[in-house]
Structure 1
Amino acid sequence: MSGDRRAVGGEHGPSAVELLPRFKRDGCNLLVSGAVSESTANRASQRLLGSPNLDRKRVLVQTGESEPVDGLLPPGVSTADRSVRVVQHRTPSDDGDGGDSLATLSRRVAETVTGFDSLSPPLVGGELRLVVTSLDALLADHDVRATERFLRSVTDAVSSVRGMGHYRYPGPRADLSSLPTERLFDAFVDLRDTPATEQRLSIPPSRSTDWLDL
Structure 2
Amino acid sequence: MLERLSEMFPPALIDLFVTSFWETLIMVGIAGAVSALIGIPLGVLLRLTDRGGVLENLAFNRSAGLVVNAVRSTPFIILLVAIIPFTRFITGSSIGTAAAVVPLTIAAAPFIARLVETSLREVDGGLVEAAQAMGATTSQIVFKVLLPEAVPGIVAGLTITLVSLTGYSAMAGAIGGGGLGDLGIRYGYQRFLPEVMLAVVLVLIVFVQAVQSLGDWLVRRLSHK
Pick the structure with more strand per residue: 1
- Give the structure with higher Rg (CA): 2
TM-score by length of 1: 0.30
TM-score by length of 2: 0.29
Task: Give the structure, 1 or 2, with the largest relative contact order (CA under 8 Å, sep 6 or more).
Answer: 1
